[in-house]
Each structure stands twice: as C-alpha cells, then as structure tokens.
C-alpha cells in the first residue's frame, strides 16, 4: 500500500448489468464523467483500493462498445478535437450498428455522461432521420398521430413549401 500512497488509482473495475466485470484503465474511464466522478470521490477520500462501479443500466455488449470508444478517445485526449484520424474512426465505429444498438449506445452514453459519444450518436441519428417522411418518423419513434385531419391540414398550409 505504501508504495502507491500517491492516492491515485490506476485502474477501476466496472460491472455491467448482467454482472460481467471490466477492468478499466483510469485514463480510459475518465472519458465518462460518471466514472470520473466516482474515481475523484474515492481519491478525495485517499483510498488506494481498487473500486468497483456497478452500472445497473448497461449490458456487457453495450459496455464493451462504450469502453472501446473511450479507449480510442483516451489515446487522443491530448490532441485537439479536429483530429482527422479520430473523426474517421468515429464514423467507422458508428456505421456498423443497427438502430437498436445505436439506441442502447446513445442511452448508455447519456447515462455514463460521455458527452462526446452522446454528441456523436445523436448527430448520427439526426443525419440518418432528416430525410425521412413523417410516417417513417412515427414508426421509428413509435409515435401515434394525435392530430385531427383539420389540424394536420392547417400545419401543412402554414408551411406548404417544406412539404413539397
């Protein structure tokens, strides 16, 4: 214990909702504000024990993805945000997911307060839904049309050009 008395942890253990344990390097974990705050709290108390952080909302497969993202971004942490290589990597990273995975990943990013991943996911979703029809949007977000035909016609009339 005395040898590591600098009161800083090098690793944390994160537990997924299905009880799998992930050993995570501190620099990687710090990409998530939720994990970072846990670590900071523990360091303030001066503990040298490895801490366990349970994430009751994130499954192993999603957590693996979040950590993959955090690992990549931790490598570039000192670089500026405009790094082309990282942007390219981000794009490739998201491209391979279906809506369901993207959905879970976005919510995990929100829950774990990983702002850059949340931004990335939301921008990706926005880009992929922007050209859809109203009907398709209702389907994807599982929304019921609660307008009367008259109300619908009014909105259409007000903004006729956008529906052309």
Partner 1 sequence: MDINLKPNSIKMAEKKAKSGTVNGDNLSGDVSHKTLEFVDHLITEEILPRLPVKSLIRFKLVCKRWNSTISSSEFVKLHLKFSSLNNQNRHFIIYPDDEKFYGKQNLDSYGLLPYRECSNIRDLVWVDGGVGDVDWYHIVGSSNGLVCLYQRDDDEDERHCFFTLWNPATGEDRDISSPDGVHVSEAHGFGYVPSLDDYLIVACFGSGTVDGSTFRGFYVFSVKVGKWERIFGCFHYLQTSRWRWKWKRVRARADEECIAKELERQAVLVGDTMYWASEFFVGKKSIVGFHVVTKELNWQCGYWSLELFQVKGCLSLFGYRKNDVSDFWTLKNPNDWSSWQKILSVDINVVPLITFSETGKCLVRQSKEFKLVDPCKEALECTKGNGAEFRRRLVIRDHVESLISPLGITKSDEKEVNSGNSNYLATNSMLLENKG
Residue 98's region, left for phi above 0, alpha for psi from -120 to 50, else beta, is: beta
Candidates 33-41, 73-81, 85-93; binding stretch for partner 1 (CB under 8 A): 33-41
Among all chains, which residue has been given the structure tokens 């992930």? 22
Backbone angles phi, psi at 113, to 5 degrees: 50, 55
Answer for which of 56, 81, 150, 157 binds partner 1 (CB under 8 A) is: 56
Please give the helix or strand (H or E) that residue 37 lies within, else none. helix 33-44
Least separation in angstroms between residue 84's CB and partner 1 is: 11
Answer for which of 7, 8, 47, 88 binds partner 1 (CB under 8 A) is: 47
Least separation in angstroms between residue 2's CB and partner 1 is: 15
Distance CA(147)–CA(40), nearest Å, equals: 50
DSSP 8-state class, residue 79: S
Least separation in angstroms between residue 89's CB and partner 1 is: 19
- Using the minimum distance from each CB to partner 1, give the nearer residue, 31 or 106: 106
Candidates 69-77, 88-96, 97-105; binding stretch for partner 1 (CB under 8 A): 97-105
């Amino acid at each position: 214990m005395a040898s590591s008395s600098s009161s800083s942890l090098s690793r944390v253990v994160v537990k997924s909702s299905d009880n799998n344990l992930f050993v995570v390097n501190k620099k990687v974990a710090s990409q998530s504000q939720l994990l970072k705050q846990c670590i900071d709290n523990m360091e303030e108390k001066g503990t040298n024990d490895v801490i366990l952080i349970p994430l009751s909302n994130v499954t192993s497969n999603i957590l693996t993805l979040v950590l993959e993202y955090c690992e990549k971004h931790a490598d570039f942490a000192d670089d500026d945000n405009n790094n082309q290589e990282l942007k390219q990597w981000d794009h490739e990273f998201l491209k391979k997911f279906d809506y369901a995975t993207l959905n879970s990943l976005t919510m995990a990013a929100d829950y774990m307060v990983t702002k850059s991943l949340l931004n990335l996911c939301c921008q990706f979703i926005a880009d992929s839904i922007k050209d859809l029809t109203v009907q398709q949007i209702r389907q994807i977000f599982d929304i019921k049309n609660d307008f009367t035909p008259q109300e619908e016609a009014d909105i259409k009339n007000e903004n006729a050009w956008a529906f052309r």
